[in-house]
Amino acid sequence: MKQPVGSKRATTRFGFLTLANYSLIALANAMEPLRMANRVGQGSLYDWTVLTLDGRPAVASNGLSIAPTRALAEAGPIDVLFVCGGVDVRDAVDQRLQSALREAARRGVALGGLCTGTYALAHAGVIDGYRCAIHWENMSAIREEFPRTTFTPELFVIDRDRFTCSGGIAPIDMMLNLIRERHGKEVATAICEQFILDRMRDAKDQQHIPLQAQVGAHNQILIKAATLMEANVEEPLALEELASYVGVSRRQLERLFKRYLGRVPTRYYLELRLRRARELLLQTDLSVMDITVACGFQSPPHFSKCYRGLFGYPPSMERRRVRAGPHAVN
């Protein structure tokens, strides 16, 4: 990740540009780790300001507003500018906002989006060529509208100088990852302890996105196929068998998965089983052998190889990480 400022101990200045009907939970979960970083880090590691274009407090989707709020033009130097979106984000994105975001990008300000704030960045053209996250409800439509940006199902994405997040409580995890990268594991761990977090989620964690939201209600063949996969994890169905159950050819099923889900059915099935295995590792005391069987893998070595291929480390390490609690962040 591109560091916003040169000195490791210099104060990083955040601006949170709130749009009408923004998500207050997403904003609070982005700001609070910065506050706690200053406390546990015993210094002014971060500074932040709530902003609007005109300086008048924006009303959040829950009817509340935050004071003090300053005008973006009067905010002074900012290292990272987050656009805070929420419901009806399209109504909040106008030419003035787009111009302000393009100007910030031109000046080299790192840009981010919370919840649907990513839509504003996309509309301004400042995340072309980047990987980004956005709340799952907006995923299908925004992919069609902005094909030059890669929208992923991750909770958050840190891609060079663009930091985007799905919203809700996910901003906590994104900010903890940014804090850890800049100020080290000990500071991030101390924040986890203060917030009573037993695990800091990373970029490999994904939103739970209802399949219908990914592919559209009209794609009943895909929805039925994926439902069958979810119901047959321990004894995975052969692709030909799956295609027969949903009434299409294997080739047609492969084309549908590739077009709407970006992967062939066998890969989708494998990732589904591996994510189920990860849930079992994190949430149960089942042995690796039991999880191997429960998720339809031939043997523990085969399971470990596949798991490492998707997550970057073996299942045994995942188990050690969760048992170690917040001290396991790395």
204 in a structural domain: no
Q: What is the pLDDT of residue 217?
A: 63
CA distance 72 to 109: 13
Count of structural domains within the chain: 2
Give the pLDDT score at 9. 58
Give the whole-angstrom CA distance, residue 82 versus residue 109.
Answer: 10
The per-residue pLDDT for 328 is 47
Q: Provide the 10 A C-beta neighbour count for residue 85.
A: 33
Which mean pLDDT values do the consecutive 10-residue runs of the chain (330 residues) have?
A: 47 96 96 96 92 96 95 94 93 95 96 95 95 85 85 92 93 95 92 89 76 69 89 92 93 91 91 89 84 93 93 84 50
50 plus 176 within the same structural domain: yes
At residue 301, the pLDDT reads: 94
Specify the pLDDT at position 199.
Answer: 79
Question: Same domain for 120 and 232?
Answer: no
Within a domain: 88: yes
Question: Is 256 found in the same domain as 169?
Answer: no
Give the up-direction half-sphere exposure of residue 164: CA atoms within 13 A in the CB hemisphere. 27
Domain enclosing residue 59, as ranges: 12-194
CATH number at residue 93: 3.40.50.880
User: What is the pLDDT at residue 136?
Assistant: 83
The distance in angstroms from the start CA to the end CA of the chain is 16
